[in-house]
Chains A and B, each alone.
Chain A
């Protein structure tokens, strides 16, 4: 398989997916019955300026897709002056609208909070990947033993455990010992330097552990499966016949082969990981994108909801693309001829 072809294909797919996501995002908030945007426009809480702003940005006085009348009048370009084009135009400009609740720019809001979700997801995922792969490897190697059964049960159990519930349990257990909500103790400002960041770190512990436990379980199951398949291959027998010790066989032959499908699987399950972040942020009031979505749901803040969904979807698509790239580099079977 040519690496270049492979990458081009993946890039194209990622691009089309992004387009589909963008269009879907538009449709969701316009076409569906009980158009929420219109409902909110007439809400008495809205100031005149905000209403005008929203109307202008969303082009609510314009037709949704296409203006038939103007087209017939010969105004070709004008015919495309629709809500949809307005949406696309704004999207490309990075304008995601304005929050109904805080009147803040949605893009600003997202930009402010994005790094907090990134930190949480990365922290939890990295731990989970490392632990999951190691334990999964051990379980597969020790297939059939009580150790393997125990590990398998742990994996299955963590699969059955809803992420938010684990968060709640840890919250109850850690009460009094660790901060249980928010990002930082009230009153502490970034200007306090190290003190501030240490405090943030403290608040990060529980959410990260929660993410870590759930995803470790999942990766254990995936890795265990993958390694079991690898260890039954011919080249493992060859390694054994060469006189390699079990440890060296695992390290020098099994590991790399098992990691390849693992990369793909981590990417594939990244969507699930992001879903978990929403739950964890909600439980621990960690002010990231996930928590933002939760609050937006409660407040019916549709622009924020729309914007966060877009951001999350885009992240997952990009993460998958990255994984595909990584895979193409790691697997020698995907090489330039």
Chain B
């Protein structure tokens, strides 16, 4: 796809992709990379609690005496799983709602959009917090809550795109030969909307990951798993007074790393898919007059690409 070619040209996107790749590799090869198994029970002495980094524990130990680095490595898995799953769910719901609301319009469309408006107004974190507090902590619950609440923005986006696409020629043609709604949506409209959806999905994954880490930090993470947010929860509760930076900082930086990678990719994709105005009227106009020096009047200026007094690139 030509979009890929465009992507490779943008440094921000490439950096993001590399960053993401690093995390993916770490997550996949976690058992190989982690020096210790975080699930394993360890015999600890009081000295081991919040021990600073040394040769055997590159990032020191946490409040239970366990190796921080290993937890950090395995934490990548949780973030990625939650991020991708929850995001997939919300993108799926959002796209479906958007397509239906946009294509069919009328009362269904309006009704769906009212629902979207409701959900958008209610504040996210308090709502998620309250639901999990009541339903109980667990990976599935977290994924459900994030996925079932995060689709509204996508729905709006897809709906407005659908509205404009549905008036286009090829759609009208399909309708005139009697193609049914679902068929039209799936075969004609969806492909057009897909690039937009993909760009949005990437950003959505980062939002999901951040949501999970916030919930985990506030004490609502899955107690059977180690996620970066949970590490920060423990670190904050128990390590902050001891200034145990090796436990406090790495999980946070890890979260920033993965979110940033996704955001860079997503932003770049967004720029490609949505070519927002590349220029506007208030640029520096000093280069506008680029008169050739020494050219006699009436003669055409030589081919472009030449350096010199014109300032042409």
Interface 1/0 per residue, B136-170 and A, CB below 8 Å: 10000000000000000000000000000000000
Q: Which residues on the B side are within 8 Å of A36 (C-beta)?
A: 134
Cα–Cα, bound, A240→B283 (Å)? 11
Residue B129, interface by CB 8 Å: yes
Cα–Cα, bound, A326→B125 (Å)? 26
Q: A271 to B277, Cβ gap below 8 A?
A: no
Interface of A is mostly: helix
Q: A156 to B263, Cβ gap below 8 A?
A: yes
Q: Which residues on the B side are within 8 Å of A308 (C-beta)?
A: 126
Q: A278 to B260, Cβ gap below 8 A?
A: no
Q: Which residues on the A side are within 8 Å of B123 (C-beta)?
A: 270-272, 274-275, 312-313, 316
**How many chain A residues touch the partner (CB < 8 A)?**
68
Q: A17 to B122, Cβ gap below 8 A?
A: yes
Which chain B residue lies CB-closest to A25? B130
Q: Which stretch from B40-48, B60-68, B206-214 is at the chain A interface?
A: B206-214
Given the interface pairs A165-B255, A320-B121, the reply to whether A278 lies near B218 with Cβ below 8 Å is yes
Q: Which residues on the A side are within 8 Å of B256 (C-beta)?
A: 157, 160-162, 165
Q: B282 to A249, Cβ gap below 8 A?
A: yes
Residue A172, interface by CB 8 Å: yes
Q: B263 to A274, Cβ gap below 8 A?
A: no
**Using a Cβ cutoff of 8 Å, how many contacts connect chains A and B?**
161
Q: Which stretch from B81-89, B91-99, B240-248 is at the chain A interface?
A: B240-248
Cα–Cα, bound, A317→B12 (Å)? 37
Given the interface pairs A28-B134, A229-B276, the reply to whether A278 lies near B129 with Cβ below 8 Å is yes
Residue B185, interface by CB 8 Å: no
Residue A306, interface by CB 8 Å: yes
Contact partner of B134 (CB less than 8 A), chosen from A29, A254, A320, is A29
Residue B201, interface by CB 8 Å: no
Q: B126 to A225, Cβ gap below 8 A?
A: no
Residue B71, interface by CB 8 Å: no
Q: A305 to B260, Cβ gap below 8 A?
A: no
Which chain B residue lies CB-closest to A254? B282
Residue B109, interface by CB 8 Å: no
Which chain A residue lies CB-closest to B203? A159
Q: Which stretch from A104-112, A126-134, A200-208, A290-298 is at the chain B interface?
A: A290-298
Q: B252 to A168, Cβ gap below 8 A?
A: yes
Q: Which stretch from A82-90, A231-239, A328-336 is at the chain B interface?
A: A231-239
Q: A162 to B210, Cβ gap below 8 A?
A: yes
Cα–Cα, bound, A313→B220 (Å)? 20
Nearest chain A CB to B210 CB, angstrom units: 6
Residue A197, interface by CB 8 Å: no
Contact partner of A162 (CB less than 8 A), chosen from B12, B129, B220, B252, is B252
Residue B264, interface by CB 8 Å: yes
Q: Which residues on the B side are within 8 Å of A165 (C-beta)?
A: 232, 252, 255-256
Q: Which residues on the A side are within 8 Å of B12 (C-beta)?
A: 153
Residue B133, interface by CB 8 Å: yes
Nearest chain A CB to B270 CB, angstrom units: 10
Q: A246 to B282, Cβ gap below 8 A?
A: yes
Residue B280, interface by CB 8 Å: yes
| Interface hits, A17-36 → B, CB 8 Å | 17, 20-21, 28-29, 32, 34, 36
Given the interface pairs A157-B260, A161-B256, A313-B126, the reply to whether A279 lies near B280 with Cβ below 8 Å is no
Residue A286, interface by CB 8 Å: no
Q: Which residues on the B side are within 8 Å of A296 (C-beta)?
A: 133
Q: B126 to A162, Cβ gap below 8 A?
A: no
Residue B32, interface by CB 8 Å: no
Given the interface pairs A160-B260, A250-B282, A316-B121, the reply to whether A279 lies near B217 with Cβ below 8 Å is yes
Return the 5 tightest CB-CB contacts between A and B, nearest first: A275-B125, A271-B123, A231-B280, A160-B259, A165-B252
Binding site for A on B (CB under 8 A): 12, 114, 117-118, 120-127, 129-131, 133-136, 206, 210, 213-214, 217-220, 229, 232, 236, 240, 243, 245, 248-249, 252, 255-256, 259-260, 262-264, 267, 276-283
Interchain residue pairs with CB less than 8 A apart (16)? A17-B122, A20-B118, A28-B130, A160-B260, A169-B249, A171-B240, A172-B243, A175-B243, A232-B279, A270-B123, A275-B214, A283-B236, A309-B126, A309-B127, A313-B122, A320-B121
Binding site for B on A (CB under 8 A): 13, 16-17, 20-21, 28-29, 32, 34, 36, 140-141, 143-144, 153, 156-157, 159-165, 168-169, 171-172, 175, 225, 228-229, 231-232, 236-237, 240, 246, 249-250, 254, 268, 270-272, 274-276, 278-279, 282-283, 293-294, 296-298, 300, 302, 305-306, 308-309, 312-313, 316-317, 320
9 further contact pairs, Cβ within 8 A, besides A16-B118, A165-B232, A293-B129: A28-B134, A36-B134, A143-B279, A160-B262, A162-B259, A163-B214, A228-B276, A271-B124, A294-B219
